[in-house]
Every structure is written in C-alpha cells, then in structure tokens.
Amino acid sequence: MMNELNFKEKSMPIVMGHLLIKDATTGDVLIDKRNAIHYENMSIAIVKALAQQQEGHIFEMAFGNGGAVVNGIGSIDYQRPNVVGQSAQLYNETYRKEISENDIEVRHTAGDLYTDMIIMVTLGFGEPIGQSAFDDTTNMNDDYVFNEIALKSFDGNQLTHVIFSPTQKSLNRIIEIYYTIRISMC
C-alpha cells in the first residue's frame, strides 16, 4: 500500500532521549547524558498510541546493573545499548517502577517542530525495598547500584536504553529521574 501512495512532501520523525538523575536532597547531578532509542519498538508504540491501543503508551521505567562493569583497577567497561530486535531488554534488570500519567509532562511551543515528553520518577528513601542503608557500597554488582535504565511500553517492549556510570540507590538518598523523549518532524 505504501508504494501506491504518492508523497509530495516527505518528513522524517527524529526521536531523541536524555536522562538526568539528581540527588533530591543535595541537588547534585548524578547522571546527565543522552540515551539510545529502540527505533523499531518506538515506531510500534507511537502507532499503537495514535490508534488508541492500550499497549502503546509508556508504562514503566526499568533499572538494572548489567550495563557497565568495573574492573579491579576501577576502570569501567560499558556495554552497547541493547536497542535491536523486538525482544531487547536490559542486560540485568533488577527493579522497575510503573509510570502514571501524573509522572509525565508534555511540553510544546507553538511553531516548534518538536514536542518533549518528560517522565519524572522519584525513588524515595524506602524504595526499592532491600536496598543498603548508606550509599557507600564497594559492591558494584549490588542490585541497586544502577548503571542502565530503560523505558518500556505497556506490552513490555523496551523503547529506550541508557548505560551510565554505576550509581547507588540507598536508604539515605532520594533520587529524581528526569527522562526526556523529544520527537521532532523534519
């Protein structure tokens, strides 16, 4: 069917992402970097959302500790973001948090060819259950020393993947995660 259509104008959607993690108490920026987009799964999610299908929306944020390995001398080896194949997942998912509509803000300025979606998630003092009391671990394989995060759709498809330096979530720390997805039409 697509070959039968005659397009006079062509536009290409561009999807970009950015992750900002802050310590809520001190305001310190812990992570500030771009992420990888899983274009196949993102295209499915966008079309399902436009078609008003339940499974197209962003449903949860997944956290893991398999995206980076700290060797004996403190050097960090990073995996490649896992954004190929519909069944792509985090390297080692250890926690996930459901995202409600109250956690999402849509920002658009009239005339701009892009719109931002900001997903704001807070991990409070008591979450996740089972974390260490203080952020002083030397075990970089601890379940709550995160080094990868992904956004997932309602049907479980991974839409994004970002890998970063290990960051511990502990009882003495509240962290705020701001995950921005920008969709632009060019």
Residue 32 to residue 38: CA distance in whole angstroms: 20
Domains of the chain, residue spans: 14-185
Q: For the chain, how many helices (H) and strands (E)?
A: 1, 11
Residue 21 to residue 3: CA distance in whole angstroms: 44
At 128-166, the pLDDT tens digits run: 998 887 877 777 778 899 999 999 999 999 999 999 999
> Does residue 185 register a pLDDT over 60?
yes
Q: How far apart are the first and last CA of the chain?
A: 23
Are 153 and 56 in contact by the 8 Å Cβ rule? The answer is yes
> Does residue 81 register a pLDDT over 90?
yes
